[in-house]
Chain A
Amino acid sequence: MARDLFAELKFRDPARARALAEAIRRNVAAIGRPVSVMHVCGSHEQAIARFGLRAVLPEGLQLIMGPGCPVCVTDGPEVDEAVALAAQGVRVCTYGDMLRLPGTARSLADAKADGGKVEVVYSVSQAVELAEKHPGDEVVFLGSGFETTAVATAAIALAPAPRNFSILSVHKYVPAAMEVVASIETTNIEGYIAAGHAAIITGFGIFEPFAARTGCPVVVAGFEPLDILAAIAKLTELMRDERPEVFNAYPRCVSREGNLPAQQTLWKVFRPVTGKWRGIAEVKDGNLDLRPEWAAIDARRRFAIDTAAVRDADAEEEAKGCICGSIMLGLAVPTDCPLYQRTCVPDSPVGACMVSSEGQCRIWHTYGGTPDLRRVGT
Chain B
Amino acid sequence: MCLGVPGKVLAIDGLNATVDFFGVKKELRLDIVDEPVKVGDYVLNHVGFAIRRIPPEEVKETLALFDQILEITGAKEDLMAADVRGEIAAGKDKP
Residues of chain A having any CB pair with chain B under 8 Å = 1-3, 5-6, 9-10, 15-16, 18-20, 22-23, 26-27, 41-43, 70-71, 95-98, 122-126, 144-146, 148-149, 151-152, 154-155, 158-159, 196-197, 200-201, 222-223, 226-227, 230, 233-234, 237, 249-253, 259-262, 265, 356-358
Contact = CB atoms under 8 A, between A and B. Distances in A.
A262 B7 contact: no
Contacts of B52: 200, 253, 259
A48 to B, nearest CB: 15
A27 B47 CA distance: 37
A interface secondary structure, majority: helix
Contacts, number: 165
Interface residues of B, number: 46
A144 B1 contact: yes
7 contacts: A16-B70, A19-B76, A152-B48, A155-B32, A155-B49, A197-B4, A249-B65
A230 B32 contact: no
Contact of B32 (A6, A152, A227, A357): A152
Contact of A9 (B22, B60, B74, B75): B60
Given A159-B31, A200-B51, A18 B83 contact: yes
Interface in B50-80: 51-52, 54-56, 58-63, 65-67, 69-70, 72-76, 79-80
A287 B52 CA distance: 24
Interface in B1-44: 1-4, 6-8, 20-23, 29, 31-34, 42, 44
Which 10 residue pairs are nearest across A and B when measured between Cβ atoms? A123-B48, A95-B1, A23-B75, A23-B73, A155-B31, A259-B34, A252-B58, A197-B4, A262-B32, A152-B49
Given A2-B21, A43-B2, A265-B32, A201 B51 contact: yes
B72 A227 contact: no
Contacts of B3: 43
A261 B2 CA distance: 20
Nearest to A250: B62
B interface secondary structure, majority: mixed
Contacts of A237: 69, 72-73
Given A95-B47, A126-B48, A259-B52, A42 B62 contact: no
Contacts of A23: 69-70, 73, 75-76
A125 B29 contact: yes
Nearest to A96: B1
Nearest to A151: B32
Contacts of A152: 29, 32, 46-49
A219 B16 CA distance: 33
A136 B29 CA distance: 26
A1 B33 CA distance: 20
Given A23-B75, A41-B2, A149-B46, A9 B59 contact: yes
A124 B70 contact: no
Nearest to B32: A262
A253 B54 contact: yes
Given A1-B8, A252-B54, A155 B63 contact: no
Contacts of B8: 1-2, 5
Most A-side CB within 10 Å, residue of B49, B60, B61, B83: B49
B79 A19 contact: yes
Given A19-B75, A26-B73, 14 more contacts: A2-B42, A5-B6, A9-B59, A18-B79, A22-B75, A23-B76, A98-B1, A123-B49, A152-B29, A158-B31, A222-B62, A251-B61, A259-B33, A358-B2
Contacts of A20: 66, 69-70, 75
Contacts of B32: 151-152, 154-155, 259, 261-262, 265
B1 A230 contact: no
